[in-house]
Structures are given as structure tokens and as C-alpha cells.
Amino acid sequence: MSRAEPGTSRLYHRLMVYLLFIILLLPLAGTLLYSLATSWSASLLPSGLTFKWYLALWSDPRFLAAFAQSLLVCVGALLLSVLLILPLLFVVHYHFPRLDALMNILILLPFAVPPVVSSVGLLQLYGSGPMAMVGTPWILIGCYFTVALPFMYRAITNNLQAINLRDLMDAAQLLGASTFQAAFLVVLPNLRKGLLVALLLSFSFLFGEFVFANLLVGTRYETLQVYLNNMRNSSGHFNSALVISYFLFVLVLTWAANRLNKDKS
């Protein structure tokens, strides 16, 4: 009897996990089915299946423009964060390792202020004057840069601690490399996978950001989330196709980040 109990317990836990997984997937499955339905009103199942809603979505110039603009601001913010964070982290971990504790506190400050409160301050600061950027992609790139900082900093810091930065630098310098050559040719290749994971996870988060995009630029620079909000009164089938397309895009990015993380470990 004692031998059967562990097997029964494992079976029970698996059933609970599968049940929870099914419950979480039901809304997504319903949205997918609705996006493929020709019509679905008074019956248990749709009257037919079609891809016309996806064809309408991906042939809509406004959607394609919003998708491209979301990509542009997210990629721009991540490039800016890489250019600033990598040199900063190298200097902190190699020359001033005691500052890491302070940096861990400072890097979380963007999460201390709610996005709505931050947006009100940014509207007043950059709404007029010589630095008027409200309604342009530049203000979104700056906001997304601050949002991505904690993700980038934490992921790259963990990678730097794993590769033993000081030993790598000392070994490279003993072989005649300068500090710049050692950082660029030895340290940077060892950070490649950790950096890619940080970029993909940050991109997945930024791509779904709505508050800053809606308050700071709105329809003047329509991103994907703002487009989704503006199309909420259109066909439910069309909106379902949009939600599923967005979900699949983020899912692929998350899957790629998880695969890179497993390979790194």
C-alpha cells in the first residue's frame, strides 16, 4: 500500500496540473475558434470556419503600420539600452564591484512610479517648449528604455557573475590584450546568449505596453496596442484574429528566449 501511495500522489498532481492548464487554455481556444468562425451566435459551435478575418487583418494598412511602428520603438529602445547598459555594467563589475548593491536598488526605480503618474509628468515636461516630444516615437523610445532597464540589467548582471569577469580580463591582459580588446573580443562573446535572452524577454514585455503608448502618443503614432484599443468596437471576429496573431508573435519570442536560456545553462 505504501508503494502505491507515491504513484497515486503523482497521478493526482499531474491531473491537477493538466486541469489547470486546460482551464487556462479555454479562453484562448475560444478566441481562436471565434477568429476562424464565419458566424457564431445562437449555436454551440460556429456555422463554418474561414481565414477571411486573418486575411482582412494582415491586408489592413493601418494594422501593418501599427505593427511596424511597435517594432520600431521597441527595437530602438532596446538598442539604446544595450549601448548604455553594457559599458555601464562592465565598468561597475570590473572597476567598482561594490556599487552593484546600489545599482540593484536604483534600477528598480522605474517600477516604483505607476505608468499613469509617470505619463502625467512626461506630458507636462515634454508637451511644449524646445523639447516637445509628445506624440512622437522619441518619447516612447525613452519611456521604453527605462522600462527595459531592470530586465536588461538583471539578466546581464547574472551572466557577468557566471563568467567570472575579472579572471577573464586578467587572462586576456596577460596575453597582451588591451582592456578594450579583452572586453570586446573575450567578454562580449561570453555575454551573447544572456544578452539575447534579455533582449527577447524585454521585447515581449514592451511589445504589449499600452499605458505609455496611449497617453503619450495615442493615434498620432499608433502602436499595436493602441490600434487594438481603437478597434474594440469593430467586428469581434476581426479583433479575435488580432489577439491571436499578437499572442502567437509573443509566444514565438518567449519560446526563443526559453530555448536560448536552456542552451546557456
d(CA 59, CA 69) in angstroms, rounded, equals 16
Asked whether residue 3 carries a pLDDT value surpassing 70, the answer given is no
The hierarchical CATH code for the domain 60-264 is: 1.10.3720.10
Asked whether residue 120 carries a pLDDT value surpassing 80, the answer given is yes
pLDDT of residue 133: 87
pLDDT of residue 68: 93
Contact 96, 103 (CB under 8 A): no
Asked whether residue 65 carries a pLDDT value surpassing 90, the answer given is yes
d(CA 232, CA 246) in angstroms, rounded, equals 15
Amino acid at 232: R
Find the mean pLDDT for residues 218-223. Answer: 88
pLDDT of residue 74: 92
Contact 115, 211 (CB under 8 A): yes
pLDDT of residue 66: 92
Contact 196, 263 (CB under 8 A): no
Q: What is the dihedral of CA 71, 77, 79, 84, to 10 degrees?
A: -170
> What tens digit of pLDDT does each residue of 235-261 get?
888 888 998 998 888 888 778 777 766
Q: Whose CA is closest to 202, among 134, 156, 248? A: 156
Asked whether residue 265 carries a pLDDT value surpassing 70, the answer given is no
> What tens digit of pLDDT does each residue of 163-215 get?
888 888 888 888 888 888 888 888 888 888 778 878 888 888 888 888 899 98
d(CA 163, CA 160) in angstroms, rounded, equals 5
d(CA 33, CA 243) in angstroms, rounded, equals 12
Contacts of residue 120, Cβ cutoff 8 Å, sequence gap at least 6: 215
pLDDT of residue 1: 45
Q: Please report the sign of the dihedral spanned by the C-alpha atoms of residue 71, residue 77, residue 82, residue 83.
A: positive
pLDDT of residue 67: 92
pLDDT of residue 198: 83
Q: Where are the domains of the chain?
A: 1-50, 60-264
Among the residue ranges 4-8, 133-137, 146-150, 211-215, the one predicted with the least confidence is 4-8
Asked whether residue 73 carries a pLDDT value surpassing 80, the answer given is yes
State what percent of residues in the chain have pLDDT above 90: 13
Model's pTM, two decimal places? 0.80
